[in-house]
Structure 1
Amino acid sequence: MTGPTAATRLVRWLVAAGVALLTGCGAAYVSPDVREAAGPVEVQVVPVTPVTLPRANAVPYRPRTLPAAFAALAGASGQWRGAGALPEAAVPPEEIPAPVSTRLPPRVEDAPYRLGVGDVLLVTGLPGAAPDQTGGAAPRARYTVQDDGSIAIPSVGRVAVVGRTIAEAEEELARALLEAGLDPAARLEVAEFRAHRAVVGGAVRAPRAVAIGLQRPTLAEVLAAAGGVEQVDERFAVVRLFRDGRLYEIPLSDIGHNASVAALPVLAGDVIFVDEGYDLERARAYFEQQIRLAELRQEVRARALAELEAEIGRRRAALEEARRNFLARVELDAVPRDHVYLAGEVAAQGRFALPFERQASLADALFGEGGVPTETGNPSQIYVLRAETADGSRVTAWHLDARNAANLVLATRFELRPNDVIFVAEQPITRWHRVLRQFVPALITSGVSAASN
C-alpha cells in the first residue's frame, strides 16, 4: 500500500493547522474590547439611559473661552469735543417801538417722529437684558443713539436707527437680532427725546431748548415750558419765529386770544424769540447767535464723527489681526485645548477638540468625525471611557447600545469631558474576517512549503 500523496498531506496539514489556529485564534489576532475588571485599573460598565445620563453630565466642566477679541465690538461712543468760544449774547432792547402785524408760518402736515442722535431708546424683550428697575416683568435695556446714527447692542452689534420712525427702527432691530441668531420679538420705544429741539429765548422766565417728541408741542406749550412771558406790555410784545431761513412774527395778544394761533405746532429747529416791540436788531442778533451755535455744533459733530470713524477703523483692524493670530495659533496647535479621543471602529481614529464656550456631546464627536462604519463597527458596543481618579486607577465605561437607533438621541444629550476616550467595538463578523485575513495567507505559504518538501 502506497503512502499518502503530496496533495493529501497538504490537505491534512491545512485542516490541522486551521483547527489549531481557529481554536486558539486569540493568539493569532487580538482586538480590544471593554469589560468590567477589578485589577490595577478598576473598570465599571454603566449603561447610558435617561436615568443614568444626569450622573454622567454631573461631572463639572467649564469650556475654554475665546479671547476677548472675539466678543469685542469695534464701535465707540462719540464724545463732544470743546466747541471753543460761544457767540456773544444778543443785544438787549432799548426802545419800545410800535406794534407789529401777524405773519404766520405756512401750515405743515403731521409726520411721524424720526429718531435722531442723542435720543434714548428703551428696548423691551431683548435676550440677555437685565430686568428694568421699573418693576416690569420683561427685561429692558436703555441705549443712546450715538453720533454715527446707531445703537450698540452686545451680541448683536450696531443697529442704524437715525432717520427712521419707531416702527422702521423696530424692523431694523428685528432683522439684526435674526442675523445674530436671537429672538426678534423685541419692542422699542423712546425713553428720552433729546435729538430734536426748539429754542426759546428773549423775554421769557427760563430760556431753554424744548424737546420735540412724538407729539409736536404747540406755540403756547413751548412758551409755558420756558416759564411763560415776563412782565411786558402785551400791546407791544411780539413772538418772533425763525424757521427754515424765514422770519415770522406773531403779536403776543394773538396767542392769548386766538386758539388757532396758540395751537400753532412748533417744529424741530425752530428758534423762538420774545421781545417787547419791533426791535429787529435785537431779534436779528439772537437768531444769528442761535444759527452760529447750530453751525458750531454741526462742525464739532462732523469732526467728532470723522475721529470716531478713524478710531473704529483702527479698532476693527486690531480686532481682526488679533482674531487671525489666534486662529493661526489654533491651526498650529499652539493654544491650550481640551480633547477627547476616538478609538476602535470609527471612521477616523484620532482626537477631537472640544469647542470653545459650549459643551460638546457624544454625537458631536462621533458624527463630526465621520460616524461609525456600519460594515465594521458594532452599534451595540459604543463606550465613553472616563477616568474617575487622577491616576486613572478607576474608570467608568459609559455604554451606549445603539442597536435601537432611537438611543442615539441619548448621544446628543451625553456631554463629553476632557480626556474622555470614545471606543466602538468591532462587529463579531469583522473579528472573524480579520482572523481569516491573517490566517489564510500564512497557511497557504506554509502549505506550499510543506508540499514542496
Structure 2
Amino acid sequence: MAQRYKTFIASACFLAMSGCTIIPGGHFEGLKQGEQTENLEKELAKVNIQLIDSALISQQKDLNKKTAAEIGASNSSKNIAGLDLSNYEYKLGVGDVLTIGVWDHPELTIPAAVQRTAEFDGFRVQADGTITYAYAPKVPAAGKTVAEVREELVKRLSRVIEDPQIDVKVVGFRSQKAYVTGEVKKPGVYPVTETPLTLIDALNQAGGLNERADWKTVTFTRGNETEVIRLDDFYSKGDISQNRLLQHGDIVHVTRNDQRNVYVLGDVKRAGTVEVNRYGLNLAEALSEVGGIDERSADANGIFVLRKRDLEKDGVIADVYQLHAKNVAALVLAEQFELDPQDIVYVTSAPLARWNKVISLLLPALTTVDRLQDIDNQ
C-alpha cells in the first residue's frame, strides 16, 4: 500500500511543478523546473506512509509505555527517590545577617526595638567573610553553617563566660540568589535560604507558568553549562530526575511555546495553527479547533498528517499518516492519535490527486521552516 501511494505521489509531482499552486504563496523561488522535479522525486522516495489504524495507535501507546518504563528503570538504577534534602545545610555568605543571643547575659544581646528590625540590628557577614561579636572578633562565617559559627562563638566566649549558651539565627538571606526568567507569572530573583529551594519550588514561587510557556523546554543554567529540563516528564510521567536543587547564581528560564504549534490546512472551516499545550493534542482536537472539515468539498478519506523526521539520523525526510474518516471508528482513532509540535494536518478534496500536488510543496516547506527557525535562534 505504501509503495502504491509513493508511485501516485511521484507521478503527480510533474503536475504540481506546472505552476498550479494549491497553497497561496506555496511556490518556492530559486529552483528551476527540471531541478525542482528531480529533487522532489528523490525526496518522495524517503517518505514513510502509514494508515492511522488500531495497530498504529497500539504502537504509539506501547512506545509511550516503553518510555515511561525506561524512565522508571533509569531512576531505579540511579537510586533516585527524589532529591535527597535530608542533609541540606545552608552555607553563609557575604551580606547575610545574623542575630546572636547569649542566655543569662542580656548585656551581650541587642534588645529588640519597636522602630528597628532584627535584620537592621543584626551582625552582617563582612566582605572578608567574617563577623565580629563581643569577645569574638573576626569570626569566620562565609562558607560556614550556622552550627559551625555557633560552635566557634562558644569556643571563644568560653574564655570569659562559663559554659555559654548561644543562639544564632539567620535573619537576612542576602548572599545567594537564583533567577527565574521567561514565561512565568512572576519572573524575578529568589533567595536561596536555609529551606532547600528546588527548581520546582522556584517555579511555584514565581506563580507557575503562564499560557505562553513551553512545558517541554525549560532551561537550567549553572555556570557555563545549560541543560534542558523536561518539565512535562516531571508532571505527567513522574520523572523526578528532572528536578534540581538550586544554588547561588542558577538560572531557570522558561521559553515561549512559539514552535509548539500544529498547522491545519486544506479543506477545513478555518485553516490555521493550533497550540499543543502541556496535556498534548490529538488529531480530533486539532480538527475541532479549526471548525472541522468542510463537508461540502472535503473528502473524509483524505485527512493526512505530515511529520518531519531527521534525514541524517533516520534516512527518512517525513512520515505521512492517512486517516480514513468516513466511518465512526475513525473518530475514535482520531481522538487517540497524538500530534507532535510542527506537524502539518492537511485535508484534501480528493484523497490522492490533490494530496500529490500538495505534498510536493509541503516537503520543501519543512526545510524552509527549519532554516527560518535556525535564523531566529541565532
Q: Quickly name the TM-score band, shorter chain normalised.
A: 0.3 to 0.5
Higher relative contact order (CA 8 A, sep 6+): 1
TM-score (structure 2 length as normaliser): 0.40
* Structure of larger gyration radius: 1
